[in-house]
Structure 1
Amino acid sequence: MDSFPPALLAFNLLLYLFTYVAATDSLTAQDPYLKDGFSLVSSNGNFELGFFSPGLSRDRYLGIWFKNRRGPTSVWVANRNTPINDSSGVLVMNITTGNLTLYSHDSTAIVWSARLLRKIPNGVLQLLDTGNLVLRDRKDENPLNYSWQSFDYPTDTLLPGMKLGWDLRNNINRRLDAWKNPNDPSPGNLSWRMELHEYPESVMWKGSQEYFRHGPWNGVRVTSRPLGIAPILNFNFVSNEDEVYYQYSVPNKSHTVMVVMNQSNYLRIMYLWSATERQWRLYTSLPRDFCDNYALCGPYGYCDIRVTPSCKCLEGFKPRSPDSWTAGEFADGCERNKLINCGDEVGFAPLNQLKLPDTKRTWVNKSMDLEECKQKCLSNCSCMAYANTNISGSGSGCALWIGDLIDLKLIPDAGQDLYVKMLASELVKRGEVQKTDRLKPKMKISLAVIAPSLGLAILFIGLYIFKKRSTVKDDHEKIEAQDLELPLFDLSLINSATNNFSIDNKLGEGGFGPVYKLDIVFGKHRANGLGAEGQTNIFEALE
């Protein structure tokens, strides 16, 4: 029987060991080491854990990346702040406690270590098909019992199923921080994290400055998201005493998606893998437009990307600095036309399709209905607005905004209703304007429909009036003809008839002066201003 040369036997053994290690997805008590040059591969072949050098750098990092994908593929880095300057790195799982430690320089220097929730003797470190690296008990695959997982410590990438937010039980803040540059995975100054306000929301930061705010979750979506964006994804938000997090999933498993923080252009980019083009394709990005810049229009101002200038004051408000506003500087925002004092008669103006304001100063009650929410806001002089916390169904929950309303944006056909406190007098004016605006299109339609009929009606009415006036004119001419036949009297006769305008003959005064009684004798007839005996007209008696 032929024997193998020693050199060939050693080569085959090394090849076997390399193939074995490369093909497995786990470290176990029997094989607890992962050295630079070897890797773990998830069972579906999508993800790989190992050592790599990013871009043009020669430094070595332990990380997870998409296997067999071109472009930006790294999704997690363990030692992003402490690179290894050679290939001496080794990941070790302690078989007694389960501790994970990354060493360099022949295990003399600790580069990185995991923070375990509990000890796992004889545990398993496994790279899952989701891209999550987990430390678990060999016989327990329940995610709730993981002692440690990479999904709790994301770097710059959010994969489907990952949680952006807080594990309040274990005080773990799951946040994203962009790489400084393509050659350096250490944290840059672009980040995305969940803010634990009374009404939580996720915010992107540029250093210490708020950069983009998603708006709170309203039971259906975050209030900044337009309808129809990213239809291949499902979004979810959880807020309870144990956790507060935002999450997305991909129902169609044929789609490969990842969200990456990119400091080069200060964008949060969602990539979609194109199987046809064999490359990552930009799917969506944030900020979407100019109006997404945080607090662009200042307090009580809102941004509408469809118009120029994009910043407008809420109705009932005016620019706080008119000159700055005219010059295109909107940061000072708006102020009320008339100040509200505690005790003034107030009401609420419903404003539609808005990204809800910054939630730093809010009060929330998830059991109240909208009417109870309104009364709660009326009873608080500092409350400036209110809204439902959940718009699904008929709506539920109550959020009050205490103080200025900041970072408002119009989201056409989406957004949410916000009820802003206003003086009753302003509401009356606003109601009249709204009524007029609502009637304008109806008036145009009505005029177009009734104009022909109205023209005919005017024509007939005109003919009728013309005929009527002709008849009246004829009657007037007859009366005037009769008036011309009235007898004339000289002054001496009038003096005699009124006894020289004696006060005894004065009957009274009218609009044309004094009225006197006449006393004239014509034969057997006697006449006076009240008429002669047996006559109804004095002038007939005078004939």
Structure 2
Amino acid sequence: MDRLINLVVIRPRETQLLLFTTSILFTYITTLSTAQELLQAGFKATPNPKISTFQPLLNDSTGNFSLAFLRVNKTQLALAVLHVPSSEPLWLANPTDLASWSDHTQLFFNGSLMISDPHSRVFWSTPTNGDLVVLLNSSNLQVQKKLDQDSSSVLWQSFDFPTDTLVENQNFTATQSLISQNGLCSMRLGSNFIGLYANFQENYDQIYWKHTALEAKAAIVEGQGPIYVRVNSDGYLGMYQNGTTPVDVEPFRSFQRSINGFLRLRLEPDGDLKGYYWDGSSWILNYQAISDTCELPSPCGPYGLCMPGSGCSCLDNRTEFRSGVDCAPVETGNFCGEKVVKDNFKALTRSGVELPYKQLMQYETTSSLEQCEGLCENNCSCWGVVYNNASGFCYVLDYPIQTLVAVGDESKVGYFKVREGAGKRKRNAGVVFAYAVVGGVIVVLIGIIGFWTYRTWWRRKRNQEEEGDFSPGPYKNLGSASFKSIEMSSR
């Protein structure tokens, strides 16, 4: 009997769950089925307000990739090529200029593929005069011009304009760059190397990782064209100049292993370069350029100190490091144009520190720490120096101070400028917050005392009424002149 009751109770719930799951699956399949495999002139689409993730518009023939409206921060829209099984964006048309997710925004193709709001402006477009738009099985989006019934030429393709991701068999050239999602880091090619750069200062990029071609199987020949790289389906990042023989091989973990998964390489927001493969249900980490957290561009934020194996702290030793909160306000610009340079900053010195990528930085040799500091103190474009007393190397930082690395060698000393205005703003904010807290406590105490006083008075009044101290009758105003005269005459 109990079992029968349980079945009666559980089955409706299971039925509801099944119906809900079926509804979701049906909606997903229906949404995908509305996407086309070819866009021709006259195509137009607007975002569906009921969709919370992405809205497919154009599929490849396998169904693994889709050109779609991608919903960003609930209210914004990016045009993206997605890996459908994981909903992972592989390419974005307008990463820095998002449109709004509204019926005013539209995508249309009339020779040029374009995202626009007729009431405001064009967000992005391809400078083409094509006949059709196709999405290849490689995830490459193309605008093509028909030459005849069976052939066409490529006028534009997304593989020529990567954002933060490379996929397998996609060439990456010296004219291109990968930009991290937050815009702080980039990947570019040199004459014989792959470089990762941090944008710490406007118009100034600091290289923090460099991989130079080993040229083991083929040599780079000067004058025979620039190098390019490609994520090879055999599990490595190959560097090439001409032909199919790589001048360098950067192996992934799956190198020389048989895997059946789609490969991609992404420049992460923290500045690391990571490779992944899709195993059918999730992305598996397959490559990592920087394994030591302290070697990332700024893992602990401005004026932070990265302690290998022990997390983060702050350079000034007085500010408590909290995740997501910088040790000092983020600064830009420099001290040039200010009347008296020394009056606009305070000096912060710290021993036992060094730069995480000092081998990639230029330096000068000085005979003392004082001489090294002097190179920066009166230099309005300098934010600090790091000095090695053993070697005499003096590293000059021409950008706002980022994370340093803690070392046990006290002969390695840093001298850093902290803008006075920034410090004052930070302290003033702390003082305002402290005053607000104290004021709030005082208000609460006053409220408690007032309530306690009222409650005591009311109890005394009630007790007096119960004991007959007040004669029954209508209410009398004890402060009125007539009552006072009666009270005085009775005495």
- TM-score w.r.t. length of structure 1: 0.41
Asked which structure has the greater CA Rg, the reply is: 1
